[in-house]
Amino acid sequence: MIPFNKPYLTGNEADYIQRSLLAGHVAGDGNFSKDCHRWLEKNTGVTKALLTHSCTGALDIAALLSGVKQGDEVILPSFTFVSTANAFVLCGATPVFVDIRPDTQNIDETLIEDAITERTKAIVPVHYAGVGCEMDAIMDIAKRHDLLVIEDAAQGLMSTYKGRPLGAIGDMGAFSFHETKNIIAGEGGALLLRDKTFVERAEIIREKGTNRQQFFRGQVDKYTWSDVGSSYLPSDMNAAFLMAQLDQAEKITEARLNIWNRYYDALKVLEDKGLARLPKIPQECTHNGHMFYLLLPDLESRTDFIAFLKENDIHAYFHYVPLHSSPKGLKSSRAHGDLKNTIETAERLVRLPLFGDLSEEDQNFVVSKILSYFGV
Ligand SMILES: *Cc1c(COP(=O)(O)O)cnc(C)c1O
C-alpha cells in the first residue's frame, strides 16, 4: 500500500527530546523553543517568531492582534482549511470569500479590491501548496486601503516570492508543523511578526494574557493579568522535535522537490495531451515541494480516478469543501462573486502521495498506474 502521507523523521528527534528532558525544562519557551525562534527569525528575516501549538493557534493570535470585531470583514479564499476563517469568526468578524486563480489555486489578487467595504480590516492570503500568492499586488492593495495582511503560510515554510520567504511578507504570518506538512513537530505552529508593532501584545496573548515574558526579562516587577489571551505555547519537547527537523530543513525540502519534479516530468504528457492539468509555479516563486496535484476534467472523472488508484493500493485525496458552501460558512460568511474557480477546483483537484521517503520505486509504480489509467 502506498499511503498519501507518511511523517518524515530525520532520526534525531528522539535524541533532541531526550536532551530537552535532561535539561529539566519541558514546559514552553525552554532552550529548544528559543533555538526554534532564532532559526525562524534568521531564516525568514522577521523581527519576531513565536512557537505555538498549531498554525490554528498562530492564526487565532493574529486575529486577536488585528483587533477585528463584530461587523468587521476579512477577505480570504474559500478554497482553504477552516482555521483560516475560524480565527476571525471567533472574534466576531465576517469572512468575505474571493475566488482563486485557475493556475495556482491562490486567491485571485485582481478580485480583492472589488470585495473591500468600509468594514474590511484585513486580507488573508493562503499560499496553497507552498506556492506564493501575488504578494506585491496584495501588499499594494492593503497599503492603499489601510488593511492588515496576515499570511496563512501553513504550507509555505522554505518557499519564496521574489526572493522573500513566505510568511514574512505581510504584517503577520502563520506556519504549521502538523505531521501532514513538510517540517513537522507532530502538532505545532509559529506566528511570524514582520516588525515590532505587534510583538509585545503577541507575547501577552500567547501567555494566557499575562506579562510573564516581560517579567522574565526583568522589565516589570509583577507578573499579572494584562490582556485577553489563552495558552498557545508548545512544550519544549515539541520544540526539540521541531528543531531536529529545522536543522535539516534544506535536505527535507530537496527530497520533496526531487519527488515533485519526478512527478512533473513523468506526468507532463497528460497536460500535453489535454487529459489532466499539472501545478503551475509562477516565475517569481520558488516552492518547497509541499504538494503535487492533478486537475481532472470534472468531478465524475476525478471520483473514478481516485477509485482506480485505491484499487491499486495507492491513496490519493481531494480537498477542500469550499468554506462558503459548508454548514458554518453558510451561516457566518459572505461570498463575493460566483467563486467559479473555487467550486471547479474543489471538484477537479486530486493530490498524489508525496512524502520525504517515498521511494523512487514506489513513485514509479504510482506514475505507471496513472499513465495506464489514461492509456498513455
Ligand atoms: C494545515 C493548515 C492549517 C492548520 O494547521 P494546524 O497546524 O493543523 O493548525 C491552516 N491553514 C492551512 C492552509 C493549512 O494547510
Q: Write the DSSP string, 176-217.
A: E--TTSSS--SS-EEEEESSGGGHHHHHHHHBTTB-HHHHHT
CA 131 to ligand 1 centroid distance, Å: 15
Element (H, E) at 298: none
Residues 272 and 228 in one domain: no
197: helix, coil or strand? helix
C-alpha 176/C-alpha 246 separation (Å) is 13
Looking at the whole model, is its pTM more than 0.95?
yes
Last residue of a domain, one of 191, 217, 246: 246
DSSP 196: G
CA 327 to ligand 1 centroid distance, Å: 20
Overall number of domains in the chain: 2
- Which pLDDT score, from 0 to 100, does residue 72 have? 98
In testing the pocket of ligand 1, which one of 81, 126, 159 has its CB within 8 Å of the most ligand atoms? 81
Residues 212 and 313 in one domain: no
- Which pLDDT score, from 0 to 100, does residue 28 have? 96
| Single-letter amino acid, residue 322 | P
Given a contact cutoff of 8 angstroms between Cβ atoms, the answer to whether 293 and 52 are in contact is no
Please report, for the domain that includes residue 355, its CATH number.
3.90.1150.10
As averages over each run of 10 residues, the pLDDT of the chain (376 residues) reads 97 98 94 98 98 98 98 98 98 98 98 98 98 98 98 98 98 98 98 97 97 90 94 98 98 98 98 98 98 98 98 97 97 97 98 97 98 97
Task: Tell me the three cell numbers of residue 5.
Answer: 502521507
Given a contact cutoff of 8 angstroms between Cβ atoms, the answer to whether 73 and 98 are in contact is no
Residues 222 and 145 in one domain: yes
Task: Tell me the three cell numbers of residue 348.
Answer: 477537479
First and final CA of the chain: distance in angstroms?
23
C-alpha 332/C-alpha 73 separation (Å) is 11
Please give the residue range of the domain that contains residue 355.
249-374
Backbone angles phi, psi at 50, to 5 degrees: -130, 120
Residues 195 and 300 in one domain: no
Residues 218 and 187 in one domain: yes
Last residue of a domain, one of 246, 270, 287: 246
Residue count (the chain): 376
Residues 258 and 316 in one domain: yes
Cα–Cα distance list, 353 to 4, 5, 11, 297 (Å): 4, 6, 22, 20
Q: Are strands 172-176 and 334-335 parallel, antiparallel or unpaired?
A: unpaired
CA 274 to ligand 1 centroid distance, Å: 32
- Which pLDDT score, from 0 to 100, does residue 111 have? 98
Given a contact cutoff of 8 angstroms between Cβ atoms, the answer to whether 102 and 157 are in contact is no
Q: Which atom of ligand 1 is nearest to the CA of 177?
A: 7
- Which pLDDT score, from 0 to 100, does residue 304 have? 98
In testing the pocket of ligand 1, which one of 56, 88, 133 has its CB within 8 Å of the most ligand atoms? 56
Q: Where does ligand 1 bind, in terms of residues with CB under 6 Å?
A: 54-56, 80-81, 83-84, 126, 152, 154-155, 176, 178, 189
The answer to the question of residue 190 being in a domain is yes
CB-CB neighbours of 196 under 10 Å: 9
Q: Which atom of ligand 1 is nearest to the CA of 176?
A: 7
The answer to the question of residue 5 being in a domain is no
Given a contact cutoff of 8 angstroms between Cβ atoms, the answer to whether 7 and 357 are in contact is no
The answer to the question of residue 228 being in a domain is yes
Last residue of a domain, one of 184, 213, 246: 246
Q: Which atom of ligand 1 is nearest to the CA of 187?
A: 7
Q: Which atom of ligand 1 is nearest to the CA of 59?
A: 10
In testing the pocket of ligand 1, which one of 159, 176, 177 has its CB within 8 Å of the most ligand atoms? 176
CB-CB neighbours of 170 under 10 Å: 26
Q: Using CA positions, which residue lies closest to atom 14 of ligand 1?
A: 154
CA 152 to ligand 1 centroid distance, Å: 8
- Which pLDDT score, from 0 to 100, does residue 218 have? 92
- Which pLDDT score, from 0 to 100, does residue 199 have? 98
- Which pLDDT score, from 0 to 100, does residue 23 have? 93
In testing the pocket of ligand 1, which one of 78, 178, 351 has its CB within 8 Å of the most ligand atoms? 178
Q: Which of 336, 286, 284, 316 is nearest to 95 (CA)?
A: 336
C-alpha 256/C-alpha 50 separation (Å) is 26
Q: Which of 80, 128, 98, 176 is nearest to 280 (CA)?
A: 128
Residues 100 and 211 in one domain: yes
* Angle of CA points 198, 127, 185, to nearest 5°: 75
Residues 254 and 181 in one domain: no
Give every strand in the sheet of 285-286, ordered side by side. Answer: 164-165, 160-161, 285-286
CA 337 to ligand 1 centroid distance, Å: 25
| Block residue for cell numbers 492593495 | 141
- Which pLDDT score, from 0 to 100, does residue 130 have? 98
The answer to the question of residue 143 being in a domain is yes
Residues 187 and 272 in one domain: no
Q: Residue 327: exposed, middle, or buried by beta-carbon count in 10 A (0-12, 13-18, 19+)?
A: exposed
The answer to the question of residue 6 being in a domain is no
Q: Which of 79, 82, 127, 111 is nearest to 346 (CA)?
A: 79
